Structure 1
Amino acid sequence: MKIQAHAESHVVELDDGSRWQIFPGDLAITLSWKPETTLHLEPSRDRVTSHVLVNATDRSRVRVIAATETWPAGDVKDALKDG
């Protein structure tokens, strides 16, 4: 999948029409994304996120949830504290 839009730093829209919120601790990873970046969506085993987006070029991963969902505040705080 390719990036359709990434106007908001924390939300990415893919060319399949899906929209994903990027985990706050992973935003820096997305700075190198370009419109031609190929991403793969995979299920996550993380308690905070439902999926991960994997950059096909460098295999970097960002945790995501559907753009319509809300982050579980306590879990996010714990995950950011733990690194």
Structure 2
Amino acid sequence: MKISAHAQSHIAELDDGSKWQIFPGDLDLTLNWKPETDLTVVEADDEVASHVLVGGGVKVRARSGGDSWPARKVKDALKDG
């Protein structure tokens, strides 16, 4: 899938209409994404993220655009690196 919109650094909308929230600790990994970047959405077995977006040489943790991040788990993950 291609990126159709990435106007906000923490939200990526794909050409299939799906919207994904990028994990705060992974935002820097998306800086080189372009509209032509191919992304694959993969289910994740992760306490924080439900999915992983793979493309542009990186993997970033993500949740569906309407889902909320589990605040405590995000804080712990950011603290642990």
Q: Is 1:79 the equivalent of 2:77?
A: yes
Q: Give distance in 2, aligned partners of 1:32 and 1:71.
A: 24
Aligned partners of 2:19 and 2:25: how far apart in 1? 18
The count of residues paired between Structure 1 and Structure 2 equals 81
Q: Following the alignment from structure 1 to structure 2, what is the Cα–Cα distance between the partners of residues 40 and 67?
A: 16
Q: What one-letter code is carried by the residue in structure 1 that aligns with 2:26?
A: D
Identity %: 62
User: Superposed, which structure 2 residues align to 1:25-40 within 5 Å?
Assistant: 25-40=25-40
**TM-score, normalised by the number of residues in structure 2:** 0.97
Q: Where do 5+ consecutive residues of structure 1 fail to align?
A: none
Q: CA deviation at 1:11?
A: 0.3
AA matched with 1:69 = D
**Unpaired segments of 5 or more residues in structure 2?**
none
Aligned equivalent of 1:6: 6
Instruction: Name the aligned partner's letter for residue 71 of structure 1.
Output: W
TM superposition outliers: structure 1 runs of 4+ over 4 Å: none
TM-aligned CA deviation for residue 67 of structure 1 = 0.8
Q: Determine the C-alpha separation between the residues in 2 that align with 1:7 and 1:62.
A: 17
1:2 shift after superposition: 0.2
CA RMSD of aligned residues (A): 0.7
SS at match of 1:32: coil
Which residue matches 2:66?
A: 68
